[in-house]
Amino acid sequence: MHRDLIISAFDKAKKDEKEETGVNMSVTGLSKRISDFMLEECHFQYHEKSLRNKLKAAQKDEPVELKAPVANCLCKYLDYENYADFVMKNSNQITQELHENERFIDSGFLKKKIKKEVSMGEKLKIVIQKNKVTLIFCLFVIIGFFSLVVINKQRWMVWENDRYVEVPFDVEKYGLSNLKLFKKDRVRYFRKVNPDCEYAFFKPDGSENLWYQKSASGELEFFTSFGLHPETGKTLKKITPHMIKKYICETY
């Protein structure tokens, strides 16, 4: 199932990039997009090369094993709650694969070794399929317990107008989707700005000092640091001389 997960993540990245830019991005670019999401939303670094290696193995139909935090983060990228949610919502696929394996045995193909070896991810799906109700109950209990612990200790922030501000955990006031884990650098340095011809678009060393992305309404917005758009969740793009001249300063 990890093989399906990594392929699905790259498929989503390819689709999103196509919708945003109209071009097909390379595997290297797609892996960077996914890696940036994992750093921003799941708070740990998973290198682009590792993602590419996992994709290569998956495309060769080789076993793919991912650590739990990586699998859960990729599931979040695919809009699942976690890996268990991904497995359960795709359980029909493993059932079909198991039936195909059984037909191989019944047809006498076992001696030719065509029966597909069941990976650890597929074994997990089989266990979940057989004990779904019990596992779901246990899962909710565990999630509820750890959620209470995290909520009580964790600091939170929300996006207000042009910046992130620290707030208490209040779902009724802010909405669960708007509450994000507190990040000191986001609160201090991340701002939405309206640059003009006088703006310092690049740092003294030549690196970018401005990032951009479209809002939910399609309007181009500019930010002082890299990361994800605070409202749409799309990866911000580095400013270029072409974008400056076209949208900010014609005389640049």
Q: What is the pLDDT of residue 93?
A: 55
Total domain count, the chain: 3
Quick check: is 11 in a domain? yes
The answer on 76 and 8 residing in a single domain is yes
Look at residue 140 and tell me if it is in a domain. no
pLDDT digits (tens, 9 = 90+) for 186-239: 999 999 999 999 999 999 999 999 999 999 999 999 999 999 999 999 999 999
Domain that holds residue 111: 2-127
pLDDT tens digits, residue range 10-53?
A: 999 999 888 888 888 899 999 999 999 999 889 888 999 999 99
Do residues 204 and 109 both lie within one domain? no
Sorting pLDDT into bands at 50, 70 and 90, what band is 73?
very high
Asked whether the CA dihedral 247, 248, 250, 252 is positive or negative, the reply is negative
- What is the pLDDT confidence band of residue 81, given thresholds at 50, 70 and 90? confident
- Give the full edge-to-edge strand order of the sheet including 211-214: 192-193, 220-223, 211-214, 237-238
Q: What angle do CA 92, 97, 102 make, to 5 degrees?
A: 125
Q: Measured between alpha carbons, how far is 232 from 89 in angstroms, rounded to an integer?
A: 25
Query: For residue 77, which of 252, 208, 248, 233 has the smallest C-alpha distance?
Result: 233
Based on the fold, state whether residues 9 and 87 are members of the same structural domain: yes
The reply to whether 119 falls in a domain is yes
Together in a domain, 15 and 99: yes
| Domain contains 104 | yes
Residues 175 and 101 in one domain: no
Q: Which residues neighbour 16 within 8 Å (Cβ) at sequence distance 6 or greater?
A: 33, 234
pLDDT of 89 above 60? yes
Say what the pTM is: 0.43
136-185 pLDDT per residue, tens:
777 777 776 666 655 557 899 999 999 999 999 999 999 988 999 999 99
Q: Tell me the one-letter amino acid at 179.
A: L
Token couple for 166: 């620290």
Question: Could you read off the pLDDT of 97-132 as tens digits, one per residue?
Answer: 445 444 443 444 333 333 445 566 666 666 666 666
Q: Are residues 116 and 163 in the same domain?
A: no
Q: How far apart are CA 102 and CA 98, in angstroms?
A: 6
